[in-house]
Chains A and B, each alone.
Chain A
Amino acid sequence: DAGITQSPRYKITETGRQVTLMCHQTWSHSYMFWYRQDLGHGLRLIYYSAAADITDKGEVPDGYVVSRSKTENFPLTLESATRSQTSVYFCASREGPSTDEQFFGPGTRLTVL
């Protein structure tokens, strides 16, 4: 199916465990983004990527690691999950650096116990 997908959609994990959230897009968009959404904060940018093997930090990168070996995939890893990382995570993609529209995935709800 064309579009942007995230997996898993729901995840419960424990403090200290490693968790990887997957993001896949079928448009071959160059730019991809990871956001987290918490009550009272709107969406905050974690990391973004301009192309394969090019990644940059956003507003709240601490505790997260990203990679982009293929254009279509942009996984987000929590190396040692903490309760403060309980959130809804959205992946997004965009065709170009200043393309009008950014497309968001359906989100992953992560709970860290």
Chain B
Amino acid sequence: DAKTTQPPSMDCAEGRAANLPCNHSTISGNEYVYWYRQIHSQGPQYIIHGLKNNETNEMASLIITEDRKSSTLILPHATLRDTAVYYCIVRVAGTSGTYKYIFGTGTRLKVLA
């Protein structure tokens, strides 16, 4: 199964863009990249996902390199409430026609006032 590699921690100034990198060099052509975040010890929350093209929603942007070996999650204007652990995930095919998530170890983002 594909694996992801993320820096263990990052700091970002409030109001600035937070750019969180992820390496997934062994990803297969039909495997999606997902991002979730976990605030304190709550359950992870969905942020965004993509396959090949860059994606944007109300929370973030996802930039995927052309060779799909890495991606970057961008929080355009980080706030203190964005302090969390961010997980880069590869969605791989499982059995029974479903898909399963392979989590990385996450990046602990601290937004500084």
What's the minimum C-beta distance from B26 to chain A, rounded to whole angstroms? 16
Tell whether, in the assembled complex, residue B46 and residue A102 are in contact, meaning their CB atoms are under 8 Å apart.
Answer: yes
Tell whether, in the assembled complex, residue A90 and residue B101 are in contact, meaning their CB atoms are under 8 Å apart.
Answer: no
Q: How far is the CA of A48 from the CA of B95 in the complex (A)?
A: 10
1/0 contact trace for A73-113 toward B, CB 8 Å? 00000000000000010101000011011111111010000
In the complex, how many residues of chain B place their beta carbon closer than 8 angstroms to a beta carbon of chain A? 22
Tell whether, in the assembled complex, residue A43 and residue B44 are in contact, meaning their CB atoms are under 8 Å apart.
Answer: yes
Among B41, B97, B103, the residue within 8 A (CB) of A88 is: B41
Across-interface contacts of A50 in B (CB, < 8 A): 96-98
Across-interface contacts of B105 in A (CB, < 8 A): 40-42
Tell whether, in the assembled complex, residue A44 and residue B103 are in contact, meaning their CB atoms are under 8 Å apart.
Answer: yes
Q: How far is the CA of A96 from the CA of B87 in the complex (A)?
A: 22
1/0 contact trace for A38-54 toward B, CB 8 Å? 00111111001011001
Identify the interface centre among B42, B43, B94, B106: most chain A CB within 10 Å of its CB: B43
Tell whether, in the assembled complex, residue B96 and residue A107 are in contact, meaning their CB atoms are under 8 Å apart.
Answer: no
1/0 contact trace for B79-102 toward A, CB 8 Å? 000000001000100111111111
Tell whether, in the assembled complex, residue A90 and residue B43 are in contact, meaning their CB atoms are under 8 Å apart.
Answer: yes
Across-interface contacts of B91 in A (CB, < 8 A): 98
What's the minimum C-beta distance from B37 to chain A, rounded to whole angstroms? 11
In the complex, how many residues of chain A place their beta carbon closer than 8 angstroms to a beta carbon of chain B? 29
The A interface, classified by DSSP as helix, strand, loop or mixed, is strand
Across-interface contacts of B25 in A (CB, < 8 A): none
- Residues of A28-81 at the interface with B, using a CB-CB cut-off of 8 Å, are 31, 33, 35, 40-45, 48, 50-51, 54, 56, 58
Q: How far is the CA of A40 from the CA of B104 in the complex (A)?
A: 9
Across-interface contacts of B53 in A (CB, < 8 A): none
Question: Please, which residue of chain A has its CB at the minimum distance from the CB of B42?
Answer: A106
List B residues at the A interface (Cβ < 8 Å).
Answer: 41-46, 49, 87, 91, 94-106
Q: List 7 A-B contacts (CB under 8 A).
A: A31-B98, A48-B98, A56-B94, A102-B46, A105-B43, A106-B42, A107-B42
Known contacts A44-B103, A50-B96, A90-B44; 10 further A-B pairs (Cβ under 8 A): A42-B106, A43-B87, A45-B101, A50-B98, A88-B41, A98-B99, A100-B46, A100-B49, A107-B41, A107-B43
